[in-house]
Structure formats: C-alpha cells, structure tokens
Structure 1
Amino acid sequence: MRPNLKRIAAASLLLRSSRPVWTNTPYVKQTLALQLPYYLQQQPHQQQLLIESPRHFSTSRTSQLINTAPAIIDEDNSKANNIASESFQFIAYAAWHPKTRQKAPTQKKVPYWKEDQKPGKVDAGEDAFFQTNTPEGLAIGVADGVGGWSLVGVDPALFSWTLMDNAAIVAKNEKSIDAHQILDSAFQELRKSGKVAAGSSTACILNLSKTTGEMTSCNLGDSAFLLVRDKKIVYESPSQQHYFNCPYQLSVVPDTYPNRDDMVTDLPKDADTKRFFLKDGDLILLATDGYFDNMYSHETLELINSGMEPIEESQTDNEVVTATIRGLAKTLTDRARRLSLNPKRLSPWAKAAQAHGSNYRGGKVDDITCIVTLVSQNK
C-alpha cells in the first residue's frame, strides 16, 4: 500500500511529558455573557453538532473571519495604545504519547531510526510540534508524519519534525505574518534545503497576537483545534480528507519513486484558513488526529471544564494557573491514549469506519499530541 494510504496502529506505553510557553502575567477572570460567533448565532443547531457528533469533514479550502471579540485599541490615547500593544498573554503546554513506530523491512538488528539520530527533540512517534514566542505573540503547531513511508525505509518523523522546526524559526523571526504564511514558508524551506528526501505529513498551525487578540489558523489534513468559551465549544476545525483515511498532506516524493504521479501531494494553498478574535478566558486545544480519533467533543469539553475548576477558584495565582494548564494537557492526552487501547469502545474513528463499510470497533492506536493554550487579557 502506498505511504499516503497506510495508517499503522500499534500500542505503546512510552514517554509522556509537557513543555510550557508562558509569561508571568496574572490570570484575569473571564468576562461574563460572551456571545457565540456570528455564524453559530445564525445556525443555532450547529453547536450541538459540534459537541455531540464525530468530526465533520471538508474537501476544499475556505477563508473566513470568525469575529469572536473586538480588538482592544484606543487610537485617541497614546498611553492606552501602549497598554494595548500587550493586551493579551498566552499560557501554553504540550503533552504527547507516541505509539511504537513501525520498523523498515531490513535484516539489520538496529532499526533504521537509530537512537542517536532521532529527528526531533522528543519522541512523539511520527507526530511533531512546536510552540514559540514571536515578535507579536505566540505561534503553535502540530504535524503528523504519514507512517506508511516506514515500509520503504523512510522515517516518517523526519518530515514532520523538519516542517515544525522550520515553522518555529519562521514564526520567531518574521513580523506581521499569519499562520498560512508560516506553513507556506516552512514547507518551501523544507523542499529547498533537501534535508528530507521523502515523506509526508499533515499540519495545523495557529498564530496568536498579544496586541489585538487575533488568531489566524491554517489546517491541512486531519489534525484540528477546538475553541472553548464560557464552557462551550464555539468552534471545531473540520477534517480535510480526499476520502476516508486519506487526509490532505504535504509531501516530498523522489523522482524515481514508483507510481509517483499517484501520490497525494497537496500544498499549503489547499489548507483551511480562518481568523478569530479571542477573548479573556478562551481555551484552545490543538491536537493531532490521534487525539480526535479517540475522543468525542463532548468528552473533551467535560474534561476541560472540570480541569479548569482550580483556576476559577484562584484567578490570580500564577502557580495555580500554570499547573492547571499543564495538568490539563496531560489529562487530555492520557485519556485519549487509554481510550485508544480499548477494543470494545465505539470510538469516533470506529464510528467513521463503520459509516464507510467497515466493522471496525475499538479505539485507534496512534501517536497523540496535544497543546493546550489559555488566553488571558490585561485590563
């Protein structure tokens, strides 16, 4: 089976960890009576679908402004403008669980990915991620390497980690750049550098502004993000798939590869892009498909709401806030992993597979990576 079609599942009890990006600004209690985005107000039944149904799918690129809050700018007051320049702060933590990576067909005892040649700073399996402070705020992203490449001797993690490392460099060094531009520049550098001879991955990148609270998103494939406000999911990004189990993906395919023209080779321009204005107290969950294939939206929302209770009780304690976000990232990742190993569960993945004619039942064992970000607005 060609690498773009093959998804490999294997159980693992490996590394779990987290990494923070945050600033020392006290958390401020979220405002009350916040409104849903305008498109949910026009379609009142959509929110229920987002919470209770398996992930929805799209097959085309869209660009849309999600007007979830006004920017805080006072053009008539220079002092207010200085304050507004850093109106928002973000607290972000990542957590991950790798599955066992598939070995390439070889007679050697040592796997082709040698321990001293890991493509990423941590072992997230075929997943990769980044989170970095930028000149204008915070950028985060996840990527899921296509596992089928391992069958032809290619480490799938090399592509995903190179893409995310490039994205981090672009986001950190460039001003006035959105999430789509970050992904486009990262992919162009990957191809130009020649460091990756072959491979594919999905990608989802978010770029958040500390000045206006604007967040741009760029999602290509079946990773996704949720925006939680007032204890409700007000947005869930769609999954981009050519057909079931064949997500959109960026690819590098050697000229000599058999049936090269049949490979899936999407581009950053094919990604789904949107713009949001964030509000104080918003929580964003960005994760690879290994999470969303095993967790329904209402299960995620329940864990988030219960996990955020310590912050509601102690809004200005920095240690409580950071510990809560870190713990929430690990809780969500751990729960998804446990459910992925349940052979009797009708997981979102199993439900979708059955809808496409399979009798599959159980969780979907996969690499799982989550980044949880809390939005805090200065007042």
Structure 2
Amino acid sequence: MSFAITSAAGVARLAPISRRATSTGFLLLALSASPMITPTLASRTAGVHPQRMPLSSTQPTCPLNRDTSPATVGLRSFHSTSHNWRSTPQFTYHVAASYSAKQDRFNAEQNLYTRPVHDASRSNFEDARECKESIDKRRRARSGQDAFFFSQVGNTNTTTFGVADGVGGWVESGLDPADFSHGLCEYMACAARSWPYGFNKTSLHPKDLLQAAYDEVTVDSSIEGGGSTACLAVAEPNGHVEVANLGDSGFMHLGRNAVRHFTQPQTHAFNTPYQLSKTPQRMLVQMAVFGGPSTLSDLPKESSVTHHKVRHGDVLVFATDGVWDNLSPQDALGIVSDHMVDVGAWVERDGTLEVGQDLAELVQAGSTRKADSSSLQAKVAIAIAKEAKETGLNTRRDGPFAKEVQRYYPGENWHGGKPDDIAVVIAVVLEDGPQRAKL
C-alpha cells in the first residue's frame, strides 16, 4: 500500500494507497492491499498493522527501491495480427492465479483461478466499456484490494496477464480501494479482448494496454477514486514477452533453476511506490479551496518496460507486494524449482536440469476443459501464495520488508513478516512441437 498526499480544511492528510482484481469468462480478479508503517511505531501489537510512510522531505529515501530495472535498448514491434511464422518455435502460456485477502484464511481450493481453454475463434467484444459494464461486481474474487487478470488479445494467439495492488489509504477518504484495482484489471482484460478496437496501432504493448485501462477508469463514474500499482505482460506465441511495471508489484522470469530476470520496484521513497490514481471531484474542490499538496499520481508512460525471450519450460511469476515483501527472489525460485523437479517438469540429467517430456500433460495442454487445481501452474501458484501468506503471519521469520525497515529505520524494531493481501499469477511456457503429438 502507498500514500497519496492530500489536503482538506487546511490540514495536510496522508491518504495511503492500496491494490486488488476479478474474474469473468476470460478472467478478472481482485485481491487485497498492504499495511502501512509509520516511523513512530516502536513495535507491532496484535490487531494493529503498521502503515506505509508518507512522502516527506525529512524522511530518508530508499535508493535500493528505486527503479533500476534494465530495459532493452530500442523497441521491438509486436505484430499481434499475424502469428504464422513457421520458421520460429511457437509457444503457449498456461496460466493460473492464487490469492488471499489479508483478513482471510488461505484456502487453496477456493482462491484459485486457472485460465480457460484458448479460443482464438471467439468473437471480439466491440467495445471495452460495454464489456466492462457486463461484469457482475458481485462475482469478483474475495481477494481484498489486490487484483489480477488474464485475456487473449482479440482473436489472436497472443495473451496478456498481470496484477494490480489497490492503495488502501484511500479508505480514509471514504473510498473502497478495490474498486480502482479491480476496475483497472477489468478494463485491461476487456481492452485486450476487444483489440484492435480502440487502438490505432498494429501491435499491442503492455504500456498501451495500461494506458487504455487507466483512461477508462478515470472517466468511469462508478469508480469515484482510488489508486493502484500494476505489473503486466503481453506474451506472444513466438516467445517474445514484453512487461510493463509501475510501482512495487513485480515480475520474475525463471528458467531451469535460474532467475533470468527480477524487476526492481519503482518508488518515490521508502514504502511509497509509483502508482496510478484518480482523485474524487469533492477532494479536488477541497484542494482548490484550502490548498496544500496534491494527490500522489504517476502515469502509465512512467512504467518500466522490459523485453524477454522465453524458452520451453520457463516459468513467469507476477505478484503483488504481499508476495515480494515476504519472499525473496531466492525463496520464490526455491518454491518453483521444488515443484518443477518433484513432478518431473524439470529433470536432472548429467548434472544439469532439462525440461521433462511430460510438461504438456502436466499443464493439461491437451484437455478440452480449462486446467484444474492439479495442473502444474495451479500447484506452483498455490505454493507461492501459501508460503507468502504463512511468512506474512510469522513473527519470527524476517522477510524482505522487515530487513528493509531494519536497515532504514532500526529504531522501529520490526521483525517478522508483513500481513497483506496476496495475488500471484503463474505462466508456464510450453513450446508447440513433438511433445504435443500424443495429446
């Protein structure tokens, strides 16, 4: 969760910011927001969770949390309208998501989403707004303020997926932070589904998708205000994956017991990530009358963009800070590797790891129905969410967030995990080829 700085009645207030997602047909899910921490809190007591720190000229910043994500020089064109390149390998992405609201017990069976069977022939929605309006808000995942989404892009074989983390501090302004993050993910899924309608480009990039969704959220009268981080990808069947990250949700690219990439969070200061936001009209009027600092708000164009080339058997991990504040990249790699090796998705031969021959079966690629809880991607998603949940509630095991607090604010005496909403999306990469012949 993060802070938006606002002013009312001449008094500057700190409105924290949190995150969430939903699921309908082609998926949309919402989850919960992170707690905040104040520098005056000397210890944590039962039932009281520290809050994120506001921006202030007197607060030290955390240089390690600034955006240092390497971005490939130059932009590659993603031609989502044509994928018949027989000379290059073709890939599919097998997606599952697991989540848990901060206040709820973790339920592996109920808090699980697995992608529907890909249907490139399905007709497009003609309008993203019409698509969004067809979504029943009551069917959103019970996931707090975090959110996630998955959708194919138009009638192509390109897919897009990601997470958003609603800014919980907006509760102090009488808003439900989940509306913003859920709405953002719903609009991203709807815009992708209706592509190329509404886009004036021949290719879809994640930053453009985020911009389109943000534009819709800002004019949607059903979303009064709020804020969110976001991390999303557009994954092409030729193995090119483009990722846009804004804030402190994040992405890992794993391949055969190796971390190929891990995003660094974008922050303005310690525990104050970049974030999209929408300020209610009533608050804008108060600011105009009484003055004071304005709401903290960044734009989609400020996202950190990276390009990746995936291989058969790679695993992509997208998660909100409810995961990354409690699990290090090494922790996540260990969880993924254990499951991949245990089921034979990664196999050790002559001292090296290779992709197992049964990967297509493990991700249930040949099924005529959507993958279930026994699929590899579901098991990995559940394992990461479960470990993050348990670590967040463990007062003896210091996670990455605790270590950062100890480094920059040693007087806080912070130990243990950080209870928060959790959302994790897993995509297992499968190359089409001989291994699919028997399915």
Relative to the length of structure 1, the TM-score reads 0.75
Aligned to 1:321: 363
Q: CA deviation at 1:320?
A: 2.5
The 2-side partners of 1:2 and 1:373 are apart by: 31
**1:236 counterpart = 2:262:** yes
Asked if the contact 2:17–2:227 (Cα under 8 Å) also holds between the matched residues in 1, the reply is no
Amino acid aligned to 1:193: D
Asked if the contact 1:159–1:196 (Cα under 8 Å) also holds between the matched residues in 2, the reply is yes
**1:92 counterpart = 2:95:** yes
Q: Map Cα deviations across residues 356-376 of structure 1 (whole Å, 9 max, x no partner).
A: 213211100000100111111
Amino acid aligned to 2:358: T
Asked if the contact 2:68–2:264 (Cα under 8 Å) also holds between the matched residues in 1, the reply is no
Q: CA deviation at 1:82?
A: 5.0
**1:350 counterpart = 2:369:** no
Asked if the contact 2:158–2:236 (Cα under 8 Å) also holds between the matched residues in 1, the reply is yes
Aligned to 1:302: 334
Match of 2:313 among 263, 276, 281: 281
> Counting helix residues as a fraction of each chain, which structure ranks higher?
1
Secondary structure in structure 2 of the residue aligned to 1:330: helix
**1:144 counterpart = 2:165:** yes
Asked if the contact 1:120–1:128 (Cα under 8 Å) also holds between the matched residues in 2, the reply is no
Amino acid aligned to 1:249: Q
Q: Map Cα deviations across residues 223-271 of structure 1 (whole Å, 9 max, x no partner).
A: 0000012310011011011001111000001243255743211110111
Amino acid aligned to 1:209: E
Amino acid aligned to 2:228: S
Match of 2:235 among 200, 208, 211: 208
The 1-side partners of 2:337 and 2:71 are apart by: 30
Q: Map Cα deviations across residues 263-282 of structure 1 (whole Å, 9 max, x no partner).
A: 21111011111112222121
Alignment of 1:1-379 (within 5 A): 3=4, 56-59=64-67, 63-64=71-72, 81=84, 83=86, 87-100=90-103, 121-134=140-153, 135-175=156-196, 176-210=203-237, 212-257=238-283, 258-259=286-287, 261-309=293-341, 310=343, 311-312=345-346, 315-316=357-358, 318-322=360-364, 323-357=375-409, 358-379=412-433
The 2-side partners of 1:196 and 1:140 are apart by: 22
The 1-side partners of 2:17 and 2:185 are apart by: 22
Give the 3 Å change call, closer, same or farther, for CA 66–230 of structure 1 in structure 2: farther
Secondary structure in structure 1 of the residue aligned to 2:211: helix
Amino acid aligned to 2:325: D
Q: CA deviation at 1:193?
A: 2.5
Give the 3 Å change call, closer, same or farther, for CA 84–377 of structure 1 in structure 2: farther
- After superposition, the CA RMSD in angstroms is 3.1
The 1-side partners of 2:63 and 2:419 are apart by: 17
Give the 3 Å change call, closer, same or farther, for CA 277–284 of structure 1 in structure 2: same
Give the 3 Å change call, closer, same or farther, for CA 235–256 of structure 1 in structure 2: same
Asked if the contact 2:180–2:226 (Cα under 8 Å) also holds between the matched residues in 1, the reply is yes
Give the 3 Å change call, closer, same or farther, for CA 171–197 of structure 1 in structure 2: same
Asked if the contact 1:167–1:182 (Cα under 8 Å) also holds between the matched residues in 2, the reply is yes
Count of residue correspondences:
312
The 2-side partners of 1:20 and 1:94 are apart by: 13
Aligned to 1:27: none
Asked if the contact 1:59–1:242 (Cα under 8 Å) also holds between the matched residues in 2, the reply is no
Secondary structure in structure 2 of the residue aligned to 1:94: strand
Give the 3 Å change call, closer, same or farther, for CA 177–161 of structure 1 in structure 2: same
The 1-side partners of 2:26 and 2:361 are apart by: 13
The 2-side partners of 1:288 and 1:307 are apart by: 21
The 2-side partners of 1:132 and 1:339 are apart by: 31
The 2-side partners of 1:227 and 1:152 are apart by: 37
The 2-side partners of 1:346 and 1:192 are apart by: 42
Relative to the length of structure 2, the TM-score reads 0.65
Amino acid aligned to 1:58: R
Secondary structure in structure 1 of the residue aligned to 2:86: helix
Where do 5+ consecutive residues of structure 1 fail to align? 10-16, 22-53, 72-79, 102-116
Secondary structure in structure 2 of the residue aligned to 1:200: strand
Asked if the contact 1:129–1:142 (Cα under 8 Å) also holds between the matched residues in 2, the reply is yes
The 2-side partners of 1:306 and 1:354 are apart by: 30
Where do 5+ consecutive residues of structure 2 fail to align? 6-13, 28-61, 105-135, 197-202, 348-355, 365-374, 434-439
- Report % sequence identity: 29
The 1-side partners of 2:63 and 2:346 are apart by: 29
Q: Which moved more, 1:294-303 or 1:166-175?
A: 166-175
The 1-side partners of 2:413 and 2:419 are apart by: 17
Amino acid aligned to 1:57: N
Asked if the contact 1:3–1:147 (Cα under 8 Å) also holds between the matched residues in 2, the reply is no
